Amino acid sequence: MTRRPRTWLLLTLLPCLTGCLWTPELSQIQGEIERQLPGAQFERDMGISLGPLSLGLARFATGFIPVAVAPEAKEAHDYLQEVRRVQLALYNTLALPPLEEVRLPQHLRSRIVNEGWHLAVKKQTEAELVWVLTREESGLIRDIYVILLDREHLALVRVEGRMDQLLAKAMENRAGELPQMLGLDLSAR
């Protein structure tokens, strides 16, 4: 292959490679949680950061998949319309002391003070931790951070976009599954 076709091939594939497999912001949060818990050990399983370009490519691709071939492609396309950026990091928990004393990482506390984030959900027991932070704009949730930690995994997720629209579409598409997803048993009524 000559130099010119290789260059064109690289330039053609470049938009497909716009996702990043390293999430420094989420790695910082993982490191701070690990420092707060002497003896805790996490092993990185995966990390990905998708920005406007890679999400635009995903929207474009899912828009062309016929519903007859993959019915979930339209649903994915609809969800992707509402998302601007996604960061995800998943770690396997190798060792985990009791979690009662863990505090919200300083990085996130400074976001609450300086950037208008709110701690919307906090569930913390000896063996499990769930924190959900949200940021509003014009009365609508635009950004969300989710931190889940238990004896098996540490999951860190940040999503930027129109969360109100994303949730509305999820409820519309999965309305029949909502009670089960929330752990509600409505069959006894």
Which two tokens mark 56?
């635009």
In a domain, residue 92? The reply is yes
**Residue 17, CB-side half-sphere exposure with 13 Å CA sphere:** 6
* pLDDT exceeds 80 at position 39: yes
Inter-CA distances, 12 with 146, 148, 173, Å: 35, 38, 35
Q: Is the pLDDT of residue 134 over 80?
A: yes
Residue 101 covered by a domain: yes
Burial category of 2 from C-beta neighbours within 10 Å (exposed 0-12, middle 13-18, buried 19 and up): exposed
Residue 43 lies in a domain: yes
Type of residue numbered 157: V
84 part of a folded domain = yes
Distance of CA 53 to the CA centre of its chain: 17
- CA 72 vs. chain centroid, Å, equals 19
> Which has the higher per-residue pLDDT, 149 or 25?
149
Any domain includes 10: no
Q: Is residue 50 part of a domain?
A: yes
Q: How many domains does the chain have?
A: 1
Number of Cβ within a 10 Å radius of residue 90 = 17
Entry pTM: 0.76
User: CA–CA separation, 155 vs 24, rounded Å?
Assistant: 14
Give domain status of residue 78, yes or no: yes
Range of the domain at 168: 18-173
pLDDT band of 71, cuts 50, 70, 90: confident
Under a CB-based contact definition with an 8 Å cutoff, are residues 91 and 67 in contact?
no
Q: How far is CA 117 from CA 26, 42, 111, 148, 180, in A?
A: 16, 26, 6, 18, 29
Domain annotation covers residue 179? no
* pLDDT greater than 50 at residue 11: no
